[in-house]
Amino acid sequence: MSLAVAVVLVVKLVRVRRLLVSTGVPMSAKVLFWASIAYLISPVDLLPDPILLDDIGLLLVALRTLHKAVGHAPRGSDGVDRYGPA
């Protein structure tokens, strides 16, 4: 099960690269994402390292926040979403 979660996270991280350079995404969502990455690599954890639930949970919250920010981002003048699918 943890392998499936890891694969899903890797796919989402590759897709989120476009959102991090986008000007239509709020800075707070970008900061939350980078904070979750810093927590992921930080040696200080709420739960011991063999249990990655806190790391993965925070990263998933950050990715969901970025996804919701794209849903509220303005579309182009022709009605096309400039950020593509998330």
SS3 readout for the chain: CHHHHHHHHHHHHHHHHHHHHCCCCCHHHHHHHHHHHHHHHCCCCCCCCCCCHHHHHHHHHHHHHHHHHHHHCCCCCCCCCCCCCC
Predicted TM-score (pTM) of the model is: 0.58
Convert the pLDDT of each residue in 14-64 to its tens digit. Answer: 777 777 777 778 888 888 888 888 888 877 777 776 777 788 888 888 888
